[in-house]
Structure 1
Amino acid sequence: MDKFDYIENPHRRYNPLTGEWVLVSPHRSKRPWQGQVEKIVEEKRPSHDPECYLCSGNERIGGEKNPNYDDVYAFQNDFSALLQDTPKGEFSDGDLFRAECESGVCKVICFSPDHSLTVPEMSVENIRKVVDLWCKEYKELGDRKEIGYVQIFENKGSIMGCSNPHPHGQIWASGLVPLETSKETDTQKEYFEKHGNTMLSDYLKTELEKDERILVENDSFVALVPFWAVWPFETMIISKRAVSNLLELTSEEKTDLADIYKKLTVMYDNLFEVSFAYSAGLHQAPTDGEEHHEWHLHMHFYPPLLRSASVKKFMVGYEMLGTPQRDITAEGAAKRLKELSKVHYKYQ
């Protein structure tokens, strides 16, 4: 029998951040590539939409009126998933029926007053203002005794549940550490105690040496396709310096975060020449009052588009009942993204 080759043969890849596995089937990607087969006609949006509840000066669905903001703006979500005044308590009926109260704060961050823009079309200077607001909200919410974790994220595109195209993101601050970050806390802590370095420091060092999945880098951050990627064009942004949260970044590093955020999303848009949908979020240390030397700041991007502007990849069948699976290898996805123009397709 031929020697096993993970680039050619079906195999599982391990995700050290979550302790989970993904089935990779490289041989299936040798089928004829069904690339971009249609051109999506994108709606041209105005800079200010009088019907948009996120635009400056407009009335929101809950009746509140936005100020005439001119850069970034944050407000409490009018329909929050978490509420500050949730009564404390729990429900238990034997070992099988349990419920516990959960309280918190949900906020919306408008990235720009310009309704027509998305992150890859914004200037680095204006994205830096978003990063600064992330820092402000992370500190203010994280300083509350009742808040154990501050999750900053962005849903882009209607297929990822985004109900409004205005450039914006969200923050959900909860009392307990959410499931995904709880898993990452445990795995990173175990690794740190064993090796004395953060997991992502060692991972990033090896990735930079191999240069098989690196997309773009600057002085402070690296964007790459993780070895264990599940989504077709899944990526991560990882800080070169082992910082546990946004507040530890220098001014230069904050600008570099804005810079690489733009560069990565330009790649995404250029892949199928469409405003590329994704869910993205920062993972950083919990704000539960404990020391978290094991945590290393990073940002996940989970995009659903597979072969074109309309062909999507979702978890179905075996993936829902067995384990996640992908055909395009992380190396193949990285190669395709890296070869793209660095100039947004609208301005080429």
Structure 2
Amino acid sequence: MQTFNMEEHPHRRFNALTGEWVLVSPHRAKRPWQGQVEKGQQEKRPGYDPKCYLCPGNERAGGIKNPDYSGTYTFINDFSALLADMPEGEENDGELFRAESEKGICKVICFSPRHDLTIPEMSHEEVCGVVDVWQKEFCELGEEDFIGYVQIFENKGAVMGCSNPHPHGQIWSSRSIPVEPMKEQERQKAYYNKHGRTLLADYLNKELEKDKRIIYKNDHFVVLSPYWAVWPFEAMIVSRRPVPDLSGLSEYERSGLADAYRQLTIRYDNLFETSFPYSAGLHQAPTDGKQHPEWHLHMHFYPPLLRSATVKKFMVGYEMLANPQRDITPETSTQRLKEQPALHYKSR
């Protein structure tokens, strides 16, 4: 009888944050690869594009003109998914047909006036400016009496649905708590009520002890590949101090978050020497006026690339009908990311 080996044998891993499972099949990663391995085409963009609706001084939809901004800049999304001025209403036709009105505020955040830069190509000081604006927007939106949750996120790359290559993210704030943060809310609250400590504080301490999935760390934040990762090079940035949300971060901690954000994305770009696509976002405490000591600030990164700049992982078949599955283990992807230089490949 063979001895079970998590690096060799199929197994399921439990996601302590959501209560869900992922199937890991490490033996499949050893099968011969005869597909594409080429590098992606290096896109060269100008520092300013007169046709880009996010560049300084350019006109957006409806004739609104951007100011000649020089740092990070935010504005109300011209095509917002949520609107602040919404009538109350609902449909409640028994247990099977339910709907209710939803309201909120959606904003766009331009990381830089430069059209040709992304986060890993910006300076540490410039990324600090992004994090500072995150904090400001979180606090201001969270103070609105009808806003219960503020979701800050970034879609990088056309494959992730990004409609404009200008470096930017979005902030969608809503009255209700969205599905994914609500899953984490319930798991973290149950853990805190049982142990008197945040789930991610205990998880992070264990990860630091094991040191098998740590990609990068500084005095205030740790970058790791989660034990329960679904995407091939999935990562998470976790604050060392169990602070519930951005409002509690000091200047030094904001600098630490900017450093972790930049260092992870540099390693992403270096992995296949391409502008590495991903969806990323902060998960933090709701802004519903209640105390949330169970919440622990963290940021998720979900990148689709699998074997090269052009080979992607898709959720299909079994994953859509049963549960997520991955071949390379989080430990393997951690090692590959750790091996990447801290200097961006375009600068070498």
Structures share fold, TM-score greater than 0.5: yes
What code does the residue aligned with 1:55 have? C
Q: Aligned residue for 1:68?
A: 68
Q: Aligned residue for 1:235?
A: 235
Q: Which runs of 5+ in 1 are unaligned?
A: none
Q: Aligned residue for 2:24?
A: 24
Question: 1:271-308 CA deviation, whole Å, 9 max, x = no partner?
Answer: 10000000000001000011100000000000000111
- Are the equivalent residues in 2 in contact too, given 1:160–1:277 (CA < 8 A)? yes
- Are the equivalent residues in 1 in contact too, given 2:36–2:311 (CA < 8 A)? no
What code does the residue aligned with 2:267 have? M
Measure the CA separation in 2 of the matches of 1:243 and 1:95. 38
- Are the equivalent residues in 1 in contact too, given 2:279–2:301 (CA < 8 A)? yes
Q: Aligned residue for 1:185?
A: 185
Measure the CA separation in 2 of the matches of 1:137 and 1:275. 27
**Does the residue aligned with 2:61 lie in a helix, a strand or coil?**
coil
Measure the CA separation in 2 of the matches of 1:36 and 1:300. 28
Measure the CA separation in 2 of the matches of 1:116 and 1:36. 27
Q: Aligned residue for 1:294?
A: 294
Q: Does 87-96 or 215-224 show the bigger shift?
A: 87-96
Establish whether residue 48 from structure 1 lines up as the match of residue 43 from structure 2.
Answer: no
Q: Aligned residue for 1:269?
A: 269
1:144-159 correspondence runs (5 A): 144-159=144-159
Q: CA deviation at 1:10?
A: 0.5
Superposition CA RMSD, Å: 1.0
Question: 1:112-164 CA deviation, whole Å, 9 max, x = no partner?
Answer: 00000000000010110111100110000000110000000000000001000
Establish whether residue 104 from structure 1 lines up as the match of residue 104 from structure 2.
Answer: yes
**Does the residue aligned with 2:268 lie in a helix, a strand or coil?**
helix
What code does the residue aligned with 2:320 have? M
User: CA distance change for structure 1 residues 214 and 34 in 2, over 3 Å: closer, same or farther?
Assistant: farther
Q: CA deviation at 1:83?
A: 0.6
Measure the CA separation in 1 of the matches of 2:117 and 2:73. 15
1:1-348 correspondence runs (5 A): 1-32=1-32, 37-348=37-348
- Are the equivalent residues in 2 in contact too, given 1:36–1:272 (CA < 8 A)? no
User: CA distance change for structure 1 residues 34 and 296 in 2, over 3 Å: closer, same or farther?
Assistant: farther
Q: CA deviation at 1:15?
A: 0.2
**Does the residue aligned with 1:62 lie in a helix, a strand or coil?**
helix
Q: CA deviation at 1:93?
A: 2.1
Q: CA deviation at 1:35?
A: 8.6
Q: CA deviation at 1:34?
A: 6.1
What code does the residue aligned with 2:2 have? D
Q: CA deviation at 1:36?
A: 7.1
- Are the equivalent residues in 1 in contact too, given 2:37–2:311 (CA < 8 A)? no
**Does the residue aligned with 1:127 lie in a helix, a strand or coil?**
helix
- Are the equivalent residues in 1 in contact too, given 2:17–2:187 (CA < 8 A)? yes
Q: CA deviation at 1:7?
A: 2.0
- Are the equivalent residues in 2 in contact too, given 1:36–1:309 (CA < 8 A)? no
Q: CA deviation at 1:37?
A: 2.0
Question: 1:226-255 CA deviation, whole Å, 9 max, x = no partner?
Answer: 000001100000000110011111111101
Q: Does 273-282 or 37-46 show the bigger shift?
A: 37-46
**Does the residue aligned with 2:102 lie in a helix, a strand or coil?**
coil
- Are the equivalent residues in 2 in contact too, given 1:34–1:307 (CA < 8 A)? no
What code does the residue aligned with 1:265 have? T
Aligned length: 348
**Does the residue aligned with 1:308 lie in a helix, a strand or coil?**
coil
Q: CA deviation at 1:95?
A: 1.8
Q: CA deviation at 1:92?
A: 2.0
Q: Which runs of 5+ in 2 are unaligned?
A: none
What code does the residue aligned with 2:197 have? N
- Are the equivalent residues in 1 in contact too, given 2:26–2:329 (CA < 8 A)? yes
Q: Does 264-273 or 94-103 show the bigger shift?
A: 94-103
